[in-house]
Structure 1
Amino acid sequence: MAKNTEHNNETIGNQQIDNRIAAVRDLIFGENIQQYNSEFQEVSNKLKALQGETKKNLEDSVSHLENKLADLESLMEHKFQDLNDDLEKRIADLDDEKADRKKLGKALEKIAMMLQE
């Protein structure tokens, strides 16, 4: 029982010393610690703002790219339809003129060249 009382007294004494050390530390470094905390908070807020801005920019870029791809897809579909219509017209013209295979071959070569451009 005496050991417990001595141990409790030591613990209380150590806590008092720790409290005194903490009080001295706060007196000496308290202003600097508050300044550092304030600066860290500012940096943290700036990082959060930059993260939000970056996320918004990324979402805008993805949306812009998706729109551009949709426009390109539409343009390509329109171009292929035009080429298909032109091919059908030329085939019809060849049938009407009873043209030979050389004319058909040249027309197909021309269309192939247009597709490569």
Structure 2
Amino acid sequence: MEKNSENKQPVVENHKIDDRIAAVRDLIFGENMQQYSTEFADVYDQIKTLKDQTNKNLSESVTNLENKLADLESLMEHKFQDLNDDLDKRLADLDDEKADRKKLGKALEKIALMLQE
């Protein structure tokens, strides 16, 4: 029984000491601590605002890039279709009985140059 009362007594004394230390700390630093708390709250709000703005900008940039890639893909498909149509037209112009290799070669060279552009 004596052990229980001995264990409780230091806990009560430590609590009183902690309260005294907290009171002295509040007297010395109380006003500064409130100012620091306010400044930290402002900094956290600014960080949150910047994070939200950055996420929004990133989302807009991704959407913009996706749109530009889709436009480029459409342009490339159109260009390939035009080249394919040109090749079909030139092949149709060649004589069915005898293919003129020089004309075919020149047509293919022209297509190759157009692809390089």
TM-score normalised according to structure 2 size: 0.89
- Which letter maps to 1:10? P
The CA deviation at 1:92 is 1.3
The CA deviation at 1:99 is 6.0
Aligned to 1:109: 109
Count of aligned residue pairs for this structure pair: 116
Distance of 2:92 and 2:17 partners within structure 1: 104
SS at match of 1:95: coil
- Which letter maps to 1:69? L
Distance of 2:114 and 2:79 partners within structure 1: 10
Q: What's the % identity of the aligned pairs?
A: 72
The CA deviation at 1:17 is 2.2
The CA deviation at 1:10 is 3.3
Alignment of 1:31-46 (within 5 A): 31-46=31-46
Distance of 1:106 and 1:10 partners within structure 2: 102
The alignment yields a C-alpha RMSD, in angstroms, of 1.7
The CA deviation at 1:104 is 1.1
Does residue 27 (structure 1) correspond to residue 30 (structure 2)? The answer is no
The CA deviation at 1:6 is 4.1
Q: Which runs of 5+ in 1 are unaligned?
A: none
Aligned to 2:59: 59
Structure 1 residue ranges, 4+ long, deviating more than 4 angstroms after superposition: none
**Cα 1:10–1:88, aligned 2, differ >3 Å: closer, same or farther?**
closer
The CA deviation at 1:14 is 2.6
